[in-house]
Amino acid sequence: MKTGDKVRVVRIPAELSDNELGTKEVFQRCVGRIFPIVNVKVLEETQQRLLELEVGEVVGEPAYMHSIWIEPEFVELVENAR
């Protein structure tokens, strides 16, 4: 998966905590929805890949206002998504 690809969030990490920022709720609202990948990074210490998705629309704001970083195993690539 690379920047520009569209992915559907299929599940969320089990270890997500529900904090004052509402992180878990934002992730839950993303399940089943399609987002373009806006950035990809590899964590230096673990070599784990993370995908950045702009998800502001799930909380009623422009997409760029909120983003999540999610591991590739929690999304699926969507072919021909609009």
pTM (two decimals):
0.86
3-state secondary structure 12-73: CCCCCCCCCCCHHHHHHHHECCEEEEEEEEECCCCCCEEEEEECHHHHCCCHHHCEEEECHH
What tens digit of pLDDT does each residue of 22-44 get?
788 899 999 999 999 999 999 99
Predicted confidence at residue 21, as pLDDT, reads 64
On the question of pLDDT at 20 being above 70, the answer is no
Q: What are the residue ranges spanned by the domains of the chain? A: 6-77
User: Is residue 78 left, alpha or beta, with left meaning phi > 0 and alpha meaning psi from -120 to 50?
Assistant: beta
On the question of pLDDT at 15 being above 60, the answer is yes
pLDDT above 70 covers what percent of the chain?
Answer: 93
